Amino acid sequence: MADRARSVKGTLFDIQHFAVHDGDGIRTLVFLKGCPLACKWCCNPESQSRRPELRFHALRCKAAQRCVQVCPSHSIAVTAEGLRIDRYHCRTCLNWVCIEACPESALVRVGSEMTVEAVLQRVAKDRDFYRNSGGGVTFSGGEPYSQAPFLLALLRGCRELGVPTAVETCGFARGEDILETVPLVDLFLFDLKAMDPERSKALTGQDNALILKNLAMLAQRCPDSIVVRVALIPGATDDNPNIEAIAQFMLHHGLNRVHLEPYHTLGIEKYAGLGRSDAWEADPCDLTRERIQEIGRVFETQGIRWEVP
């Protein structure tokens, strides 16, 4: 890879090692920041904005007030309810001196720029684990194709290293960008949420026309390299008409693998930490094991293999 390509920068919010659920074997997960969708149940709300953000961990805060003292825009104050952050002015500051000042690490920066070279160096350290387990690197987000040039350079670098690759995508991206990566991707983990376009727009902020077009395009070129992922959100995506429509679409396009991903509440506390109050709250118990089995049988009847990763 040319030096120029290795110097391309992108914005990440995390790199996780030794993951086992996002593709085969032991994997490194590279999370790119920025997403064109705003799914109401998103468990990584810090992934949606491309910009770096300030996250507040309330349980760590001991009210030392050093952040208040150093904030250049006077956006932080201690009130009777606890620490208050003026998010508008905080977003326009980005000096991060408050993070450095906090003795309890209650303030954390989410999102930073990295070069392709720096990411590949992190990925290369795990090559022995990939070889021994059949794993590799998975690019996730956010939406990786929202930083298409960066993603393409990363994928090319992984090919040079001999590292298997997977891409998790919501499918809302330029078809040309997706097509350019097809020879470099071993596995696409493709999300389908709501098949009705109006429901899709209400739940994610976008209708699904482009998403379905891109999945159909991929299915023509590499059907055996696609796993469809369905988030089972009580009261939003888990009803029979939606599930049956997904199964029919997959059958029509020759796709035969689906991962069912039950709703969980692990991301809810992140919303408050980012100054947001729009977390989707449902009871995971509404989606019983028996109901998941019923949903799985809908796919089985169409000859589609299903699993809960």
pLDDT one-digit tens code per residue, 235-249: 999 999 999 999 999
**What's this model's pTM, rounded to 2 decimal places?**
0.94
Q: pLDDT averaged over the chain?
A: 94
Numbered ranges of CATH 3.20.20.70 in the chain: 3-49+112-307
Give the helix, strand, coil percentages of the chain, each rounded to 5.
40, 20, 35
Report residue 77: phi and psi, to 5°: -145, 155
Instruction: Give the homologous superfamily in CATH for domain 3-49+112-307.
Output: Aldolase class I (3.20.20.70)
The per-residue pLDDT for 21 is 87
- Residue 209 CA: distances (Å) to CA of 196, 212, 226: 10, 5, 19
CA dist 297 → 195, 240, 260, 262 (Å): 19, 11, 12, 15
96 vs 242: CA distance, rounded Å: 44
CA triple 54-145-274, angle to 5 deg: 15
Amino acid making up residue 23: G
Strand partners, 261: 231
- Which amino acid, residue 173? A
Give the pLDDT confidence score for residue 88 in this predicted structure: 87
Residue 100 CA to its chain's centroid (Å):
27
Residues of the chain with CATH 3.30.70.20: 53-110
pLDDT digits (tens, 9 = 90+) for 132-186: 999 999 999 999 999 999 999 999 999 999 999 999 999 999 999 999 999 999 9
* Architecture of domain 53-110 in this structure: 2-Layer Sandwich (3.30)
- Contact at 8 Å (CB) between 37 and 172? yes
Q: Which residues, 6 or more positions from 285, have their beta carbon under 8 angstroms from its beta carbon?
A: none
